Amino acid sequence: MDYKKIISTMTLEEKASLCSGRDFWHTKGIKSQKVPEIMVSDGPHGLRKQPASQDHLGNFESIKAVCFPAACATAASFDRALLNKMGKALGTECQAENISTILGPAVNIKRSPLCGRNFEYFSEDPLLATELSGALIKGVQSKNIGTSIKHFTANNQETRRLTVSADVDERAMYEIYLAAFEGAVKNAKPWTVMCSYNRINGLHVSENKTYLTDILRDEWGFDGVVMSDWGAVNDRVKGLTAGLDLEMPGSYGINDREIVEAVQGGSLSEKTLDKAVERILKWIDKYESKKQKDVKWDKEADHELAGRIEEESAVLLKNEGPILPLDKNDEIAIIGRFAKAPRYQGGGSSHINSSKVTSFMDAAKGKGHEIHYADGYDTDSDEIDRALIAKAVNAAKKSDVAVIFAGLPDLFESEGYDREHMRLPENQNVLISEVLKVQPNVVVVLHNGSAVEMPWEKDVKGIFEMYLGGQNVGTAEYNLLFGKANPSGRLPETFPVKLEDNPSYLNFPGFMDNVSYAEGVFVGYRYYDTKKTEVLFPFGHGLSYTTYKYANLKVSKRKIKAGDPLTVSVDVTNIGRMAGKEVVQVYVAAPQDGMPRPVHELRAFDKVALRAGETKTVTFELDSRAFAYWDKERHDWYVAAGDYTIEAGASSRDIKFVKKVNIEAASKPRFTITENTCFGDLMDIPELADSLKPLINSYFHIDKKEKGKAGDAINDKMAKELLRFSPLRGVISFGDSEYDHEKLAKVIKVMQEKLNH
Ligand code: BGC
């Protein structure tokens, strides 16, 4: 496609009209230019292709498709290769269904367990979110199908999602909320980015140049199309100027006309419009020019794959005894509606019309188990039904073990609104405690998209977190519970003991149209671990049916310069009898004497398969970002000098070995020196010592002949402490009258030059 030529012959009206959708799911074609229309579809964990009726809330029927586990589950796999495989399967489905671009993955940070859409999101940790979503993007795009990483950005709640302003400081923005997108955008190069509904610090993202152009395109090099979330456009002309290319689904021509008028009236340059048109044409051409014809997709094979992905994702949270795997000769009470009709996906725009569903009971059928089934609770309400509970207690009483399938019913979490609390429905908590009165061997299998409180955690022997495990969750449950598969999922989020422990608790979902991200960078384990708060289950936690031993943590150097990479390796051995997969996690603990930093942050991870008895050396390369924080002053990443600790472990609270590494800072801190700068901020910078000395001497009335000695009443250490928080202007009030404002300004100028040099 010769974009330049097409643009030069397009009318202004044609250009404007290309910048919005024809309908819910199609771009507009331009017959005279032979530009075809292309179709996009939700996303993110299966296809929601709607043939005729259209909506973005999942109300209308879509074609039959395979519902893979949602991101809450796949994130727990910690497995890039697995996400890549899932991406390839989604890509093939899109090829077969003539979908140019799948609307996902969704990588927003799980700031609060209450966000109604957490089930679609990956993690509270940006590295995990960006690495896994990047792997999925690469998989989809290897099939010449586009992705739309979403919702860019700071869309961390459903309450007032179209109008709320996320009031976030620049550092938290870069280190947490943008970082979830950054790696995937830079490395996996999604064809499109979907901007979010919300505002950031007052301005709608859909018209926010800082995010859509300065950061996304200029800092990260994104060269694809930015499309709006469905209905996210607030001011179309401002949006176009800020970098929003495509409005979806469109506004019946109203906003297109605004674009035309703005160009005619001179408030919008036609060049800006041309740029957006060019990007949209490139995207259409990318898909059309290599479009695969007559691709078939195998729903049965993808159903199998969905089950295998879930098997690698489910997290074994507790296994006392060990009670699991279950003994196939035992009589087993299977309690809970979710064993027959699992909750395996969330509500809203990601809702898939599943080709089929395999529940645990389906998977266990015909396998010769002695099972006593009872419904236990109703999923339509949280009302306690004593008759259902009595039947469940009866089943538990006559069995060797009771497995309770619990979780959040649809009503409790969905796109469009947030959860009201972090509890399971009351009828399920009561059921679990009643069963525990007659049966000591209780295993709970959970189906939910986000963390829940577990008041019965100490009393049950086993807990499986399945998350929302996709349409073949039952097969995964069967294989995991009976030991045909070894659990290897790890929590991609902390489970706090109670909602009130969460760092966003006082500021979620905010008041009216403002939500303050007052916790800053202290999100998830960055907060809990720094604060030493007791948690129910820590970030990265997950058990296995085998045991892993760590040894030989090595770092390539004990002393490096800021900017240098560091190689870290550790040996992991499977010392049990069953093959399994361990997730090795590397955290970096930065020095705590300067900028407030979390006690440690996940900087690398890998999932390794180990046969019984096998040892593997796992190696990681840490680049300078692993040590850096976002420095507002220099608007860049900054590595502070000092001692860093490299930690290797199996969760954020299970660190096996540590090694210290010293980093020499190549650059000096950057800030503007004024009369109000404190001496303490300058005293540790060797380059400034010569300029500071006369000021200090004057401050303490030190006789020059005494060569800088502070005299009897005050020693050097005391002088340093006294000066730490004294501003330079103190030399004028308390000094030996050597300095006035003018003279001080001269010294400040010299010091500033030395600092900037
Ligand atoms: C959602 C997006 C989705 C779009 C189209 C919006 O309401 O936020 O995630 O892709 O609808 O269905």
* Rg, Å, the chain Cα set: 29
238 Cα: distance to centroid of ligand 1 (angstroms): 22
Secondary structure letter of residue 497 according to DSSP:
S
18 CA to centre of own chain? 32
Cα-based distances in Å from 607 to 313, 490, 567: 12, 10, 17
Residue among 194, 349, 351, 415 to mutate when testing ligand 1 (max atoms within 8 A of CB)? 349
By the 8 A CB rule, do 273 and 251 touch?
no
Residue among 230, 246, 351, 415 to mutate when testing ligand 1 (max atoms within 8 A of CB)? 230
With CA atoms as reference, report the closest residue to 241 among 217, 203, 267. 267
Task: Measure the N-to-C terminal CA separation of the chain; round to a whole number of Å.
Answer: 49
Question: Atom 12 (ligand 1): residue with closest C-alpha?
Answer: 56
Which of 619, 641, 664 is the C-terminal boundary of a domain?
664
* Domain co-membership, 603 together with 493: no
161 Cα: distance to centroid of ligand 1 (angstroms): 12
* Domain co-membership, 508 together with 410: yes
How far apart are the C-alpha atoms of 298 and 300, rounded to whole Å?
5
pLDDT tens readout for residues 110-169? 999 999 999 999 999 999 999 999 999 999 999 999 999 999 999 999 999 999 999 999
Which of 637, 664, 691 is the C-terminal boundary of a domain?
664
512 Cα: distance to centroid of ligand 1 (angstroms): 23
631 Cα: distance to centroid of ligand 1 (angstroms): 34
With CA atoms as reference, report the closest residue to 697 among 673, 723, 721. 723
With CA atoms as reference, report the closest residue to 84 among 156, 187, 181. 187
Indicate whether 326 belongs to any domain.
Answer: yes
56 Cα: distance to centroid of ligand 1 (angstroms): 6
55 Cα: distance to centroid of ligand 1 (angstroms): 9
* Domain co-membership, 502 together with 531: yes
Q: Which atom of ligand 1 is nearest to the CA of 106?
A: 9
How many CB atoms sit inside 10 A of residue 119's CB?
Answer: 28
- Dihedral through CA 451, CA 457, CA 463, CA 466, nearest 10? -10
- Dihedral through CA 497, CA 499, CA 505, CA 508, nearest 10? 150
How far apart are the C-alpha atoms of 556 and 367, rounded to whole Å?
52
Question: Atom 9 (ligand 1): residue with closest C-alpha?
Answer: 349
Q: Which atom of ligand 1 is nearest to the CA of 416?
A: 7
Handedness of CA 735, 739, 744, 747 (dihedral sign): negative
Question: Atom 6 (ligand 1): residue with closest C-alpha?
Answer: 230
Catalytic, out of 42, 79, 125, 229: 229
Q: Which atom of ligand 1 is nearest to the CA of 58?
A: 12
Question: Atom 11 (ligand 1): residue with closest C-alpha?
Answer: 56
* Domain co-membership, 461 together with 559: no
pLDDT tens readout for residues 735-745? 988 999 999 99
How far apart are the C-alpha atoms of 28 and 50, rounded to whole Å?
17
Residues framing ligand 1 (Cβ under 6 A): 42-43, 56, 103, 150-151, 229-230, 349
With CA atoms as reference, report the closest residue to 132 among 305, 300, 312, 299. 312
How far apart are the C-alpha atoms of 528 and 525, rounded to whole Å?
5
31 Cα: distance to centroid of ligand 1 (angstroms): 28
Residue 7's contacts (CB-CB under 8 Å, 6 or more residues apart) are 15, 274, 277, 278, 281
How far apart are the C-alpha atoms of 127 and 175, rounded to whole Å?
10
Q: Which atom of ligand 1 is nearest to the CA of 249?
A: 5
**Total residues found in the chain within this entry:** 757
Residue among 229, 233, 350 to mutate when testing ligand 1 (max atoms within 8 A of CB)? 229
pLDDT below 70 — which residues of the chain? 52-59, 666-667, 703-714
Assign residue 552 the CATH number of its domain. Answer: 2.60.40.10
Q: Which atom of ligand 1 is nearest to the CA of 43?
A: 10
Q: Which atom of ligand 1 is nearest to the CA of 48?
A: 12
* Domain co-membership, 407 together with 478: yes
3 state SS of 431: helix
Indicate whether 642 belongs to any domain.
Answer: yes
Q: What's residue 92's pLDDT?
A: 97
Q: What's residue 353's pLDDT?
A: 94
340, amino acid identity: K
313 Cα: distance to centroid of ligand 1 (angstroms): 25
* Domain co-membership, 397 together with 499: yes
Could you give the number of structural domains in the chain?
3
Cα-based distances in Å from 414 to 117, 119, 347, 377, 422: 6, 8, 5, 21, 14
% helix, strand, coil for the chain, step of 5: 35, 20, 45
Q: Which atom of ligand 1 is nearest to the CA of 104?
A: 10
115 Cα: distance to centroid of ligand 1 (angstroms): 16
Q: Which atom of ligand 1 is nearest to the CA of 55?
A: 12
Strands (E) in 527-641, as ranges, are 535-537, 548-555, 559-561, 566-574, 580-589, 601-610, 615-622, 629-631, 636-638
Q: What's residue 671's pLDDT?
A: 86
* Domain co-membership, 406 together with 499: yes
3 state SS of 299: helix
Question: Atom 8 (ligand 1): residue with closest C-alpha?
Answer: 229
Indicate whether 595 belongs to any domain.
Answer: yes
Indicate whether 124 belongs to any domain.
Answer: no
Per DSSP, the residues of 452-473 read ---TTTTT-SEEEE--S--TTH
With CA atoms as reference, report the closest residue to 157 among 190, 198, 192. 198
251 Cα: distance to centroid of ligand 1 (angstroms): 16
In terms of C-beta density within 10 A (0-12 exposed, 13-18 middle, 19 or more buried), how is residue 174 classed?
A: buried
Residue among 23, 39, 40, 42 to mutate when testing ligand 1 (max atoms within 8 A of CB)? 42
How many CB atoms sit inside 10 A of residue 169's CB?
Answer: 16
Q: Which atom of ligand 1 is nearest to the CA of 120?
A: 9
Indicate whether 568 belongs to any domain.
Answer: yes
Assign residue 415 the CATH number of its domain. Answer: 3.40.50.1700
By the 8 A CB rule, do 567 and 621 touch?
yes
Per DSSP, the residues of 121-175 read S--SSHHHHHHHHHHHHHHHHTTT-EEEEEEETT----TTTTT-EEE--HHHIII
State how beta strands 442-447 and 401-407 pair: parallel
Domain that holds residue 739: 679-756
Question: Atom 3 (ligand 1): residue with closest C-alpha?
Answer: 349
72, amino acid identity: C
* Domain co-membership, 518 together with 656: no
97 Cα: distance to centroid of ligand 1 (angstroms): 19
Please confirm, yes or no, whether 385 is among the known catalytic residues: no
User: In the numeric block, which tokens belong to residue 549?
Assistant: 């031993």
Per DSSP, the residues of 347-401 read BSTT--EES----HHHHHTTS--EEEEE--S-SS-----HHHHHHHHHHHHTSSE
Handedness of CA 389, 390, 391, 392 (dihedral sign): positive
* Domain co-membership, 524 together with 565: no
Q: Which atom of ligand 1 is nearest to the CA of 349?
A: 12
Cα-based distances in Å from 460 to 147, 315, 399, 457, 597: 42, 16, 16, 6, 37
227, amino acid identity: M
How far apart are the C-alpha atoms of 147 and 135, rounded to whole Å?
12
How far apart are the C-alpha atoms of 357 and 169, rounded to whole Å?
44
In degrees and rounded to multiples of 5, residue 743 shows phi and psi of -70, -40
For tokens 């093939």, what's the residue? 92
* Domain co-membership, 401 together with 495: yes
Helix (H) or strand (E) holding 199: strand 199-200
Indicate whether 190 belongs to any domain.
Answer: no
Q: Which atom of ligand 1 is nearest to the CA of 56?
A: 12
Residue among 25, 56, 117, 415 to mutate when testing ligand 1 (max atoms within 8 A of CB)? 56
195 Cα: distance to centroid of ligand 1 (angstroms): 10
Q: What's residue 51's pLDDT?
A: 75
Indicate whether 322 belongs to any domain.
Answer: yes
Which of 640, 664, 688 is the C-terminal boundary of a domain?
664
How far apart are the C-alpha atoms of 692 and 109, rounded to whole Å?
45
* Domain co-membership, 498 together with 350: yes
Indicate whether 144 belongs to any domain.
Answer: no
44 Cα: distance to centroid of ligand 1 (angstroms): 10
By the 8 A CB rule, do 103 and 46 touch?
no
pLDDT tens readout for residues 621-670? 999 999 999 999 889 999 999 999 999 999 999 999 999 999 998 667 77
How many CB atoms sit inside 10 A of residue 548's CB?
Answer: 20
* Domain co-membership, 689 together with 570: no
pTM here is 0.95
Residue among 103, 157, 193, 414 to mutate when testing ligand 1 (max atoms within 8 A of CB)? 103
258 Cα: distance to centroid of ligand 1 (angstroms): 24
